[in-house]
């Protein structure tokens, strides 16, 4: 299930930092940047979240909402949001149900140790709920601008 482009997003309902639960149906008629990251408060994840924060208004101009997803708890997400003033919700995927559905919960290796972890990945979902672009093993530098440029070039805002 590595190539998700052209597929409808699997149905999900997961707890979200803004309260209650969230599903893609909540964003019908809008584009969504769904980005998966390994862990709150770590350097790369913080940089990535702050980059999305700094560009949120530009995404909104393109009728696009940002959703961050990690296996962290809602409590962890809340601290991460407050510390970095994040204007978008973070999804608590504690059972890695969404990460598995998107194929980003994979075997990783660090200093010779193998473990299951989240591969930093971004998916662009259009207004009809179809995945139109994906990036796996994302390098944080300039990624947010690349994502925004793809949306500007390929998705018409309504």
Question: Tell me, what's the pLDDT at 80?
Answer: 97
Query: For the domain 7-155, what is the CATH superfamily, name and number?
Result: Glutaredoxin (3.40.30.10)
Q: Which residues are catalytic?
A: 45
> Residue 4: what pLDDT?
82
20-54 pLDDT tens trace: 898 888 898 999 999 999 999 999 999 999 999 99
CA atoms within 13 A on the CB side of 35: 29
Q: Of 59, 91, 53, nearest to 72 (Cα)?
A: 91
Read off the pLDDT of each residue in 78-84 and give the average, rounded to a whole number. 97
pTM of the model: 0.93
Phi, psi of 90 (to 5 degrees): -115, 135
Contact of 32 with 60, CB cutoff 8 Å: no
pLDDT in tens, 91-139: 999 999 999 999 999 998 888 999 888 999 999 999 999 999 999 999 9
Q: What 8-state DSSP symbol labels residue 44?
A: H
The Cα 118–Cα 121 span in angstroms is 8
Instruction: Match 């075997």 to its residue by tokens.
Output: 107
pLDDT at 11 over 90: no
> So what's the pLDDT on residue 24?
86
Cross-strand pairs, 16: 91
| pLDDT at 12 (0 to 100) | 86
Listed in order, strand segments (DSSP E) in 37-142 are 64-70, 90-92, 105-110, 113-118, 121-125, 131-135
């Amino acid at each position: 299930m590595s190539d998700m482009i052209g597929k409808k997003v699997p149905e999900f309902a997961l707890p979200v930092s803004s309260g209650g639960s969230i599903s893609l149906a909540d964003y019908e008629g809008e584009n969504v940047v769904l980005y998966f990251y390994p862990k709150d408060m770590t350097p790369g994840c913080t940089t990535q979240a702050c980059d999305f924060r700094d560009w949120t208004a530009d995404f909104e101009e393109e009728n696009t909402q940002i959703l961050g997803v990690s296996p962290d708890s809602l409590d962890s997400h809340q601290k991460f949001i407050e510390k970095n003033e994040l204007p978008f919700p973070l999804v608590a995927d504690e059972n890695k149900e969404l990460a598995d559905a998107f194929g980003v919960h994979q075997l990783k290796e660090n200093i010779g140790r193998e473990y299951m972890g989240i591969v930093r990945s971004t998916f662009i979902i259009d207004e009809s709920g179809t995945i139109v672009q994906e990036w796996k093993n994302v390098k944080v530098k300039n990624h947010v601008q690349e994502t925004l440029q793809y949306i500007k070039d390929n998705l018409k805002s309504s």
